[in-house]
Amino acid sequence: MAMTDVAIDSLVYPRSQTPDDEGDFQDDQLALVPLSIRSLIKVIQGYVYYRKHVHNDPVNPDNCMDIDYGSVLDYRASGEFLTFGNRTIPQPIIQKPSRRTPADEFDRSIRRYPSSFPTFSNDKQWENYNRNLAAICRTYGLQNVLDHKYRPQTVDEKDLFDRQQAFMYQVFTMTLLTDKGKQFVCEHQATFDAQTIYNQLAKAYTKSDKADATATGLLQWIMTARLDDSWRNTHESFIIHWQEQVCKYHTLADISQRMPETQQHLLLEQALIAVPYLDEIQRLSRILEMQTGKAIIFDDYVTLVESAAQSYDTRQDSKTKPKNNPSRDIYFTDVRSGFGDDNLPMEFNIDTDIGEYQAYRSSFTPGRRPRLPQAQWSQLHDEARRHWQQLPDKAKAIILGASSDPARPPPPPPPPLRRLVNLHDISAAELLDHLQDASMGSASGALPPEVVDTARDSILAHVTECQSLKPGDIKRLMSDKLADVPSKPKGKQEAKQHEIVIDGKTY
């Protein structure tokens, strides 16, 4: 590779000669190497020079056997061949920038801020957090950290992955605020292994006993959910929320336990059966299936019910929207009774947790649902019973005459809680001080003369009206004499228990 053009042009090789006329062998003569071979040597030299100065990938004894014949042909067909292959043309000074490694490209790419990543402070929000985290990591080129199967192979890949791990570890220290997240971050503090942290976190929330319990709760809600007056939003939002819970269940459940579309179709129909116009879509789809012999697929059914719900919600909004500016009442107050009403969600959406919705529904639903008496229920045939079950509770109440009368006044609020106050303006120490001598039950210990305090006398006068002390009362526990209860009290001692000494006189 270090041969000059003069040396290459003077390359010779021994060429054998034919025997003479007498059959004697002749000595070999030196002949020049053919021009094609000398040109190939120059091509190889130019390719090595081109690869070192342009691609910053020099040829060495370790990779010389890995030279691709196709890359050499591409070099010969390119314009670079005239620069590096023809030594008669002066070679320009090439000031190409040095090749940056993938790790350098990672540092020079778009700015990354840990504050742009979502925080994870509630176990119930794992699905939303995982979805947002995967999207941001994909944007920043950090998806390899979330892949537990990824293993870097080359030196450049290892260097790049190490920097990605360090950055994601910083992100996890700031965004993982749950107990499990903080535990995993602390365990890998010395190694900064963000890949293992995410893998352990995903297993804790998708493959653990707690995740199985969460999946069971989701499945139970999916199978029993009903669209009724307890849903505090539009009908379309309920349908979207129901599909979101199915998506969360499929994330936690195994592939074998996921619900097929036919089962989802039936469960969604049951969830919307209490709404007449949505139930009508189900009836029409059955008729269309009988006429065409082709069942409607689940995606088409969802599109139909969402479209119908959008139309219904639009009509409801137009009815409830005031035509003119609403009147504003000054000096108007509203009183609400009950506790914990402010903590209930006022409007549900796709991110509403099913636990919050069920808690609200349990407080919203009345204690007793309208139902037919047993005598009337037994007289109905099966089809009538099915129609009765499909009616919403409000319609059942109207039929049974249990609807609320607007003219009827609301029930009175519950009585306020009783609050018993034993000590008003006197401390326990002050009261014990006055009761110390009174607890003896005799007039033998006369009090020293002192200035009469009318306020203190009035307090002691009210003490005489108190009932007997309970065994666990603080005054009985603090007094040695009151704590010593005789096993067989006598009549005289019982009489003395109600005596009190005030200013040296026994009452």
468-495 average pLDDT score: 61
195-209 average pLDDT score: 89
The pLDDT assigned to 413 comes to 53
- pLDDT-derived band at 69 (thresholds 50, 70, 90) equals confident
Task: Summarize pLDDT for 18-32 with one digit per residue, the tens.
Answer: 877 777 777 778 888
Q: Does the pLDDT value for residue 405 go beyond 50? A: no
Average pLDDT, rounded, for the chain = 75
291-299 average pLDDT score: 84
165-187 average pLDDT score: 91
Higher pLDDT, 119 or 1: 119
Q: Does the pLDDT value for residue 459 go beyond 60? A: no
- Taking the model in full, what pTM does it have? 0.45
- pLDDT-derived band at 196 (thresholds 50, 70, 90) equals very high
Determine whether 503 is exposed, middle or buried from the number of CB atoms within 10 Å of its CB (0-12, 13-18, 19+): exposed
Q: Where are the beta strands (DSSP E) in 271-414?
A: none
The pLDDT assigned to 172 comes to 92
Q: Any idea where the domains of the chain sit in the sequence?
A: 5-84, 110-207, 211-318+340-364, 428-506
Higher pLDDT, 500 or 241: 241
- Cα–Cα distance list, 396 to 382, 384, 400 (Å): 17, 13, 6
Task: Summarize pLDDT for 80-94 with one digit per residue, the tens.
Answer: 766 666 554 445 545
Question: How many whole angstroms separate alpha carbon 460 and alpha carbon 375?
Answer: 67
- pLDDT-derived band at 193 (thresholds 50, 70, 90) equals very high
Range name among 81-90, 192-201, 242-251, 279-288 with the lowest pLDDT average: 81-90
The pLDDT assigned to 321 comes to 57
Question: How many whole angstroms separate alpha carbon 272 and alpha carbon 266?
Answer: 10
- pLDDT-derived band at 364 (thresholds 50, 70, 90) equals low
In this structure, what is the dihedral angle of CA atoms 57, 61, 62, 65, given to the nearest 10 degrees?
Answer: 90
Highest mean pLDDT of the ranges 60-69, 234-243, 458-467: 234-243
Higher pLDDT, 482 or 156: 156
β-bridge mates for residue 120, sequence order? 176
- Structural tokens at position 274: 């209490």
- pLDDT-derived band at 390 (thresholds 50, 70, 90) equals confident
Q: What is the DSSP string of 420-453?
A: --S-SSS-HHHHHHHHHHHTT-SSSSPPPP----
Range name among 106-110, 124-128, 397-401 with the lowest pLDDT average: 106-110
Question: How many whole angstroms separate alpha carbon 274 and alpha carbon 252?
Answer: 29
432-455 average pLDDT score: 50
Neighbouring CB atoms inside 10 A of 488's CB total 5
The pLDDT assigned to 195 comes to 92
Determine whether 152 is exposed, middle or buried from the number of CB atoms within 10 Å of its CB (0-12, 13-18, 19+): middle
The packing angle between helices 194-206 and 126-140, to 10°, is: 150
The pLDDT assigned to 156 comes to 85
Q: Does the pLDDT value for residue 197 go beyond 90? A: yes
- pLDDT-derived band at 403 (thresholds 50, 70, 90) equals very low
The pLDDT assigned to 489 comes to 52
Contacts 24+ apart (CB under 8 A), 458-464: 459/426, 459/434, 460/434, 460/500, 460/502, 463/431, 463/434, 463/435, 463/500, 464/500, 464/507
CA angle 397-346-307, nearest 5°?
75
- What percentage of the chain exceeds 70 in pLDDT? 64
Range name among 178-182, 203-207, 339-343 with the lowest pLDDT average: 339-343
The pLDDT assigned to 360 comes to 64
Q: Does the pLDDT value for residue 198 go beyond 90? A: yes
Residue 379 CB partners (closer than 8 Å, separation 6+)? none
Closest CA relative to residue 506, chosen from 430, 434, 460, 444: 444
- Structural tokens at position 57: 């990938």
The pLDDT assigned to 194 comes to 92
Question: How many whole angstroms separate alpha carbon 92 and alpha carbon 421?
Answer: 101
Give 116's DSSP letter.
G
Q: Which residues of 246-278 are buried (b: 16+ CB within 10 A; e: fewer)?
A: bebbebbbeeeeebeeeebbebbbebbbbbeeb
Q: What is the DSSP string of 241-279?
A: HHHHHHHHHHHHS-GGGSPPHHHHHHHHHHHTTTSHHHH
219-240 average pLDDT score: 88
Higher pLDDT, 331 or 195: 195
- pLDDT-derived band at 383 (thresholds 50, 70, 90) equals confident
